[in-house]
Amino acid sequence: MKRKLQLTLLMVIFAVGINAQTPNKTTTEPFQPNWYLSMYTGVNWFLGEYNRPFTSPNNFSFNNNGSPLASLGLGYEFNPIIGIRGQLGWARYKWTHLNNYPFTAWGLNLTGDLMVNLSNWWAGYNPNRVFDMQAFGGLGLGYRAKDVYSSSSSSLVTPIVRVGLQGNFHVTKQFDINLDLATNMVSDKMNDLVAGLFFDDFTSFQVGFTYHFKNSEAKKMAVAPAPVVQIKEVIKHDTVVVKEAPTPIVKMVNKEFAKNIFFHIGVSKITDYNQKQIIEEAADFLKAYPDAKIQIDGYADRATGTKQVNMRLSQHRAQNIANELSKTYGIDASRITVVGHGTIPQIFQTDPKNRVATLKATAQVQETTY
């Protein structure tokens, strides 16, 4: 157990060190949601009756309780922080009775995990990061075959509750090497002994690799081609061919930005990844068109709260967006207009959608055509 605690602490310290040394470069490369496929192999240590490291008598050791295991995983990353993963694994279990007689069994495990990327959560998304750390937790089912040491024992289907940490070395944009440490709580009947603590446990350490199904390079923004100057041929006096450049036509064109940022009930703070993404898009628009100004209108739904509470809530929602534009992206406050409307009007038909702030900006751009 001491070795496992030391290993966990080492992974956390290493992750913090790597993240601290990763250059925090400004990048326009967006995050790409993606599917990924993983393969792992490693060892597990079984803990059950008579094998608890902190009780006496105890015969828990790597040799008495360690066995191999392997697994195949399929996952999906929704955004830089949140993802899910399913795993199908094979394991051999081993434990030793007080008389030092070794017992063995094999099993299959099917689990589903919620994955949280701690590095992107704590330090922000950085596609140039070499190493990051994920925490995960999940549920599943396990099948343990009939034990080889007892003719009276039978096979077992057990629920699994698990938590763990995974470190990822990003070799390329699509290929990772993984270190996975997890503890898995199973039925107390796992070793056919029921006494004391209401569950048995096997803790696993695996090394694996992951392939992400995504483009190796972020898609670049399309650049509008320069206008093509067409040459007209005009025949004068029926004898001379003169080439004349066409007359340019200059006109003013409106470029518009309009997006909605939705909030949870009673909330005005900017915390959601999608909210921050829209604010970043608004900042990019204002930087691209320095003469443009933006109006932010805050609203609240009339189904909850008093008029006074909803008025303050709508003003805070709009003002927090304005503060984010100014402090994070350097947009001059004189270019931002903030209005809190309370519950009048209700711009959407359903109440939850009226917990919203609207962002609108217009810029006039001179375009030349021929």
Q: Residue 206 in 3-state DSSP?
A: strand
pLDDT value for 341 = 94
Mean pLDDT score across all residues of the chain = 84
- Same domain (yes/no): 171, 26: yes
Question: For residue 253, is it within any domain?
Answer: yes
Of residues 11 and 199, more confidence is placed in 199
> Is there a single domain that holds both residue 119 and residue 165?
yes
Among 50-59, 100-109, 180-189, 211-220, the range with the most confident prediction by mean pLDDT is 180-189
Q: Predicted confidence band at 55 (pLDDT cuts at 50, 70, 90)?
A: low
Is residue 220 over pLDDT 80? no
- Round to whole Å and give the CA distance between 336 and 325: 9
Rounded to the nearest 10 degrees, the angle between the axes of helix 307-329 and helix 273-288 is 60
The pLDDT, as a whole number, for residue 153 is 63
- Name the more confident of 226 and 72: 72
The answer to whether residue 238 sits within a structural domain is: no
pLDDT computed for residue 25 by the predictor? 46
Here the tokens at position 130 are: 């070499």
Q: How far apart are CA 166 and CA 114, in angstroms?
A: 12
Domain boundary among 194, 213, 232: 213
Burial environment of residue 216 by CB neighbours within 10 A (0 to 12, 13 to 18, 19 or more): exposed
Could you tell me if 314 and 201 lie in one domain?
no
Total number of domains in the chain? 2
- The CATH code of the domain that includes 139 is 2.40.160.20
Residue at 370: amino acid letter: Y
Q: Does the residue 338 lie in any domain?
A: yes
174 & 35 share domain: yes
Given 189, 213, 237, which residue is the final one in a domain? 213
Beta strands in 155-239 (DSSP E): 156-170, 175-187, 199-213, 232-236
Query: Is 101 found in the same domain as 8?
Result: yes
262 domain residue, yes or no: yes
CA distance 321 to 188: 52
Query: In which residue are the tokens 């992951």 written?
Result: 210
User: 308: domain CATH number?
Assistant: 3.30.1330.60
**Of residues 148 and 273, more confidently modeled:** 273
What is the pLDDT averaged over residues 5-34?
58
Q: Which domain holds residue 117?
A: 2-213
Q: Element (H or E) spanning 332, and its range?
A: none
Regarding whether 87 and 8 lie in a shared domain, the answer is: yes
Does residue 69 sit within a domain?
A: yes
In this structure, what token pair is assigned to residue 84? 């899910």
Residue 286 identity (one-letter amino acid): L
Tokens 């699994």 belong to residue: 160
CB atoms within 10 A of CB 266: 12
pTM: 0.54
Find the largest Cα–Cα distance for the chain: 118
